[in-house]
């Protein structure tokens, strides 16, 4: 009743201002409220009313009239509404699973597993050794797959695509240069060109290993394989096979490691997932990219006729009569071996043994001892299947046939030091090129025993490669870190581009390869880096269009272009 009394006081006081009768009003108010206190005197009542009017407690008491709608003025500021961005999606499917694992259920599971193991052991006993080996490989693969989390394996493809997208954004300026940039300065340089560095491919695991082999994939033109090993026979360690894509320069697509250094590799034209590899320890192996576990799918051994020296080059050949896969290898032990994949096993056949001519010495009891030539490089003719060239450590090049194992078709006194590479021209069937550590690159007609062109590059030449778009363009790399590009139709005396590619002087370039369709080359060095470079317009000049005439293109034009140059040389030679 106190609250009610107070409210009546307020209302009576309002009337008091009009009637000016405070005493009677106060008495009436007190009587109505029914307060138990004594009725105060007129003076006390007057004081109370004055205090009530003056006191600041009035508004607080008024607020309490409605206890269910309380709000404080200070908090009634306008709050900006939050902006929500929403998207709709289907919720992931959910299923409830519950099970109880009792002691006997666990026991039954173990017994079942033991029975399975016993059955597999019985099966393995009946299997052949080859089947056993394949079973082991499959088992290894299963365990490696199980060790990985299922959740990760589900998103590997998506993660790879996202990684490529991120890299494309990171290296966007390089990708734009690769696609669209043409060096405008070439218009003002008559017979010179430049190389524009694009991506650099490197991997931490292959940091201390030299690039010993490069090969573009015949099907996917952005994919290339890199072989890692060491050319220093005092520092032989492990080897690595990495496959990079230009779409992702930051990390290899495939990684394979080996106990011995990889010296060479080649990719099959019809089966681009098969990579043949030659090792420093004399073994050859085939890696299958469809089965990306670290072990090779097939490998030679001491029993199956491996080389006794490093394998310097391997090359896939056409399948044999029974449609078995077939590749050749050359090694310092003087053997050229044909390897055939028969029933998941590598079978070897010695094609030829390189004997150094006029080097036979008489041993005990008149035995003829032949000095073996050390093969370092070889290449097969593009049209004549049986014919191939072999370069040796002695500097000679032998023209051989698959049919004759005892003699050579021809011998060229090519170089004063080891031949590092030999390569047939992709257009002209008679022309081949060789390079050597004696600083020279020589271009030959295989019907003539003397070279047509000789170029001295002032440093040991590690590798040479013909351009796929022209019969007269080729690139050479030297150990002083320079890349030289020649176009014989523009300048037959010197290179139209000499450019240092690696920064440090101690860093040597080891290999070079042209891309089959894009105007780029890749260059490998002995620090394990692969640099991609774009050729400027002057380095890939096509014949100029004449008014009213169509520009002739095709292999016939390229052959005629090189023939014209060779005829000039052939005419000069007899006079000399």
Percent of the chain beyond pLDDT 70?
74
Residues facing residue 316 across a β-bridge:
327
Confidence of residue 29 (pLDDT cuts 50, 70, 90): very low
- Express each pLDDT in 407-447 by its tens digit: 778 888 888 888 888 988 888 888 889 999 888 899 888 88
- The torsion defined by the Cα of 87, 89, 92 and 94, in degrees rounded to 10, comes to 100
The Cα-based distances of 265 to 1, 228, 305 in angstroms read 104, 10, 19
Residues 6+ apart with CB under 8 A from 156: none
- Express each pLDDT in 182-198 by its tens digit: 877 777 777 788 888 88
- CA atoms of 453 and 474, how far apart (whole Å): 13
Residue position matching structure tokens 């600083």: 439
- Express each pLDDT in 138-172 by its tens digit: 656 555 555 555 566 778 888 888 888 888 888 88
Q: How do 254-258 and 262-267 pair as beta strands?
A: unpaired
Burial 379-415 (b: 16+ CB within 10 A, else e): bbbeeeeebbbbbbbbbbbbbbbbeeeeebeeebebb
- The DSSP secondary structure of 17-56, one letter per residue, reads HHH--HHHHHHHHHHHHT-SSPPPPHHHHHHHHHHHHH-T
Is the pLDDT at 361 greater than 60? The verdict is no
Average pLDDT, the chain: 77
The Cα-based distances of 477 to 178, 486, 532, 561 in angstroms read 22, 11, 14, 25
Confidence of residue 292 (pLDDT cuts 50, 70, 90): low
Question: Among 326, 303, 246, which Cα is nearest to 129's?
Answer: 303
Confidence of residue 25 (pLDDT cuts 50, 70, 90): very low
Tell me the average pLDDT across 194-207: 85
Structural domains in the chain plus CATH codes: 165-357+367-542 (2.130.10.10)
Distance of CA 95 to the CA centre of its chain: 40
- CA atoms of 410 and 388, how far apart (whole Å): 11
Is 52 in contact with 13 (CB distance < 8 Å)?
yes
Dig out the tokens for 212 from the structure.
């010993």
Q: Report, in angstroms and rounded to the nearest whole number, the Rg of the chain calculated over CA atoms.
A: 44
- What does the pLDDT read at residue 431? 87
Residues facing residue 531 across a β-bridge:
200, 523
Sign of CA dihedral 171, 173, 176, 182: negative
């Amino acid at each position: 009743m106190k609250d009610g009394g107070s409210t009546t006081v307020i209302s009576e006081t309002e009337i008091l201002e009009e009637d000016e009768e405070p005493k009677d009003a106060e008495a009436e108010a007190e009587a109505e409220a029914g307060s138990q206190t004594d009725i105060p005197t007129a003076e006390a009542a007057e004081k109370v009313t004055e205090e009530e009017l003056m006191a600041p407690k009035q508004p607080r008491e008024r607020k309490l009239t409605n206890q269910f709608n309380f709000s404080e003025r200070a908090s009634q500021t306008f709050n900006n509404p939050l902006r929500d961005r929403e998207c709709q999606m289907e919720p992931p499917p959910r299923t409830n699973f519950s099970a109880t694992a009792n002691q006997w259920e666990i026991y039954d599971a173990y017994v079942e597993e033991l029975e399975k193991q016993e059955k597999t052991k019985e099966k393995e006993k009946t299997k052949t050794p080859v089947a056993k080996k394949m079973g082991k490989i499959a088992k290894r693969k299963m365990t490696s797959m199980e060790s990985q989390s299922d959740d990760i394996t589900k998103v590997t493809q998506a993660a790879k695509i996202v990684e490529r997208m991120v890299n494309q954004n990171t290296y966007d300026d390089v990708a734009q240069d690769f696609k669209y940039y043409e060096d405008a300065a070439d218009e003002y340089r008559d017979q010179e060109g430049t190389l524009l560095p694009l991506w650099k491919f490197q991997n931490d695991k292959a940091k201390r290993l030299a690039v010993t082999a490069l090969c573009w994939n015949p099907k996917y033109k952005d994919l290339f394989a890199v072989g890692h090993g060491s050319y220093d026979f005092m520092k032989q360690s492990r080897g690595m096979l990495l496959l990079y894509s230009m779409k992702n320069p930051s990390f290899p697509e495939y990684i394979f490691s080996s106990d011995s250094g990889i010296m060479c590799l080649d990719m099959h034209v019809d089966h681009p997932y098969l990579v043949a590899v030659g090792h420093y320890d004399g073994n050859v192996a085939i890696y299958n990219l469809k089965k990306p576990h670290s072990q090779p799918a097939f490998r030679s051994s001491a029993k199956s006729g491996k080389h006794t020296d490093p394998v310097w080059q391997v090359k896939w050949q056409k399948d044999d009569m029974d449609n078995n896969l077939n590749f050749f290898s050359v090694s310092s032990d003087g053997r050229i071996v044909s390897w055939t994949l028969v029933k998941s096993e590598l079978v070897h056949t010695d094609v030829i043994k390189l004997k150094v001519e006029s080097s036979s010495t008489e041993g005990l009891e008149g035995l003829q001892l032949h000095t073996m030539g050390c093969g370092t490089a070889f290449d097969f003719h593009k049209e004549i299947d049986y014919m191939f060239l072999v370069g040796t450590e002695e500097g000679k090049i032998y023209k051989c046939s698959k049919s004759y194992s005892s003699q050579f078709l021809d011998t060229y006194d090519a170089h004063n030091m080891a031949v590092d590479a030999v390569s047939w021209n992709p257009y002209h069937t008679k022309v081949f090129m060789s390079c050597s550590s004696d600083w020279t690159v020589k271009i030959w007609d295989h019907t003539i025993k003397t070279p047509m062109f000789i170029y001295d590059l002032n440093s040991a030449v590690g590798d040479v490669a013909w351009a796929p778009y022209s019969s007269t363009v080729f690139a050479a790399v030297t150990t002083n870190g320079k890349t030289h590009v020649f176009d014989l139709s523009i300048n037959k005396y010197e290179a139209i581009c000499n450019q240092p590619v690696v920064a440090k002087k101690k860093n040597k370039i080891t290999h070079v390869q042209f891309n089959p369709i894009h105007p780029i080359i890749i260059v490998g060095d002995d620090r394990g880096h692969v640099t991609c470079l774009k050729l400027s317009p002057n380095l890939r000049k096509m014949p100029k269009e004449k008014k009213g005439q169509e520009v002739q293109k095709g292999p016939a034009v390229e052959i005629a272009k090189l023939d014209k140059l060779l005829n000039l040389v052939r005419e000069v030679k007899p006079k000399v």
